[in-house]
Amino acid sequence: MARSLVIVESPAKAKTINKYLGRNFTVKASIGHVMDLPKKTIGIRLPGEDPSGRKKRKKKKGAKKGAQAEEKNTKKPITLDDDKIFEPTLQIIAGKGKVISDLRKAAHSAEAVYLAGDPDREGEAISAHLAMVLSKPSKYPEQEASVSRFKKKDAKPEEPAKAEAEDAPKKEVVAIDPKKIFRVTFNEITPKAIRAAFDKPRQVDSNLVDAQQARRVLDRIVGYKISPILWDKVRRGLSAGRVQTVALRLIVERELAIRAFVPQEYWTIHAMLDAGQPPLFEAKLFKHNGEDIEVKNQEAADKIVAAVSKAKWQVASVAQKEKKRNPPPPFTTSKLQQAAYNRLRYTAKRTMSLAQKLYEGVELGDEGSVALITYMRTDSVHVSNDALAQVRELIPERFGANYLPEKPNFYKSKKDAQEAHEAVRPTDVMRAPEDVRKYLDEDLFKLYQLIWQRFVASQMLPAIFDQTTIDINAGDYTFRATGSVQKFDGYLRVYQLPASNADRDDDEKDDEGEGRALPQVVEGQVLRLDKIRPDQHFTEPPPRFNDATLVKELEEDGIGRPSTYASIISTIVEREYVTKNQGRFSPTMLGERVSTLLVKSFEDIFDVTFTARLEEELDEIEEGKLPWREAVKEFWEKFVVDLDKAGDEMLSYKAGIPTGKKCEKCGQGELLERISRHGFFLGCSRYPDCDFIQDLSPELPEEASGEPKTEYCDNCGKEMAIKRGRFGTFLACTGYPDCKTTRRLVQGTRIAHQPLLRLSEVQVHAAHHHGHQMPEVQ
The active-site residue out of 341, 346, 375, 577 is 375
Three-state SS for 487-554 is: EECHHHHCCCCCCCHHHCCHHHCCCCCECCCCCCCCCCCEEEEEEEEEEEEECCCCCCCEHHHHHHHH
C-beta atoms surrounding 237 within 10 Å: 9
Q: Which residues contact 227 (CB under 8 A, 6 or more apart)?
A: 238, 239, 240
- SS3 assignment, position 772: strand
Q: Which residues contact 332 (CB under 8 A, 6 or more apart)?
A: 378, 379, 380, 381, 413, 417, 423, 424, 562
- SS3 assignment, position 208: helix
Three-state SS for 92-133 is: ECCCCHHHHHHHHHHHHCCCCEEECCCCCHHHHHHHHHHHHH
The answer to whether 118 and 375 have CB atoms below 8 angstroms apart is: yes
- SS3 assignment, position 768: strand
The answer to whether 674 and 626 have CB atoms below 8 angstroms apart is: no
Give dist(CA 47, CA 602) in Å, integer.
20
Give dist(CA 632, CA 86) in Å, integer.
7
Give dist(CA 97, CA 192) in Å, integer.
34
Three-state SS for 212-265 is: HHHHHHHHHHHHHHHHHHHHHHCCCCCCCCCCHHHHHHHHHHHHHHHHHCCCCE
C-beta atoms surrounding 486 within 10 Å: 14
Task: Indicate if 140 belongs to the active site.
Answer: no
> CB pairs under 8 A, 24+ apart, for 36-40?
36/90, 36/91, 36/93, 37/88, 37/89, 37/90, 37/91, 37/216, 37/220, 38/89, 38/91, 38/145, 38/158, 39/94
Which residues form the catalytic set?
375
